[in-house]
Chain A
């Protein structure tokens, strides 16, 4: 299996994803975005922002006008919107379903937002929509509450015994399990 190689086929890197979503956020929030604004928002130097933006401009995702104001091309907007939506969905999934504290959910969502496929993101969205429709007194709610209680506690080490045993059981069920290098 060489799934990890798919990371390289992502339309944008983690850093580039942050630049795109930040530009979009600044445009929505203050109506303009400059290199200095992006640098301040991301907590990095203008030099780093400028170097990253060069690549994004060459790829036609970011546009800079004569006054050095930044905007996104149609493709850039689409990518930024997709990443943002994935972040929101994954964060909600981690928080609402797994019961992970919001801060941790946000950080973890940030780590995977630009890596997961559109298909998985759509499935997550569908699951959350379905979840909204479930009545409050259902078995689901009880299960979710139990999961949330469990997830709220910070693990001392990972994986715990129960989780490790589950992973082993799942691996045995997976026909390709033996081929996974990691």
Chain B
């Protein structure tokens, strides 16, 4: 499949993804502090691991932007409250923004698929796979303890 590939648009999408990843890393960190309950330590560990992984993703996305000749310019606007979360509530919240990141990578893949930029294509495909796995892992954790309107 061949399609019109706009490098500028790819950089825009990558910058949006960079913002998603950076915001997610902060959200994970915040959630890990606000989680309470008997399963706190287990959930906290999952959230902290995901926090570190999202930072790695952000670094990778920044690298891609630079490789394409762009500048990393994420627009971040976070307003986090002091609400406490049970373990399942924290996982459910994380699932929301993980799913959003996955959708973002899918969009990027749609954009670069068949563009001829094999490296970027492969990166997008790989990120879709990794994020899909994250979402699936979080969903599996929730199966054990469903909460609210998942």
Q: Which residues of A contact B (CB under 8 A)?
A: 15, 35-36, 39, 43-51, 54, 57-58
Q: How far is the CB of B12 from chain A (nearest CB, A)?
A: 10
C-alpha spacing A103/B107, complex, angstroms: 34
Our pick among A45, A54, A58 for the contact of B20 (Cβ within 8 Å) is A45
- Residue interface mask B78-121, A partner, CB < 8 A = 1: 11000000000000010011011101100100000000000000
C-alpha spacing A45/B24, complex, angstroms: 10
- Residue interface mask B42-85, A partner, CB < 8 A = 1: 00000000000000000000000000000000011111000000
C-alpha spacing A50/B98, complex, angstroms: 10
Residues of A within 8 A of B100 (CB): 35, 45-47, 49-50
> Do B20 and A47 have beta carbons less than 8 Å apart?
yes
Chain B interface category by residue count: 20 to 34
> Do B77 and A46 have beta carbons less than 8 Å apart?
no
C-alpha spacing A43/B101, complex, angstroms: 15
Q: How far is the CB of A70 from chain B (nearest CB, A)?
A: 13
Residues of B within 8 A of A36 (CB): 103-104, 107
Q: Which residues of B contact A (CB under 8 A)?
A: 16, 19-20, 23-24, 27, 75-79, 93, 96-97, 99-101, 103-104, 107, 148-149
With A51-B93, A51-B96, A51-B97 as given contacts, are A46 and B104 in contact (CB-CB < 8 Å)? yes
Closest to B75 in A: A43
User: Secondary structure of the B side of the interface?
Assistant: helix
Residues of B within 8 A of A57 (CB): 149
Residues of A within 8 A of B77 (CB): 43-44, 48
Residues of A within 8 A of B107 (CB): 36
C-alpha spacing A48/B97, complex, angstroms: 7
Residues of B within 8 A of A44 (CB): 75, 77
- 24 residue pairs of the A-B complex, CB under 8 angstroms, read A36-B104, A36-B107, A39-B16, A45-B19, A45-B20, A45-B23, A45-B76, A45-B100, A46-B101, A47-B20, A47-B23, A47-B24, A47-B27, A47-B96, A47-B97, A47-B100, A48-B23, A48-B78, A50-B100, A51-B27, A51-B96, A51-B97, A54-B93, A57-B149
> Do A46 and B75 have beta carbons less than 8 Å apart?
no
Q: How far is the CB of A56 from chain B (nearest CB, A)?
A: 12
Q: How far is the CB of B148 from chain A (nearest CB, A)?
A: 7
C-alpha spacing A173/B25, complex, angstroms: 53
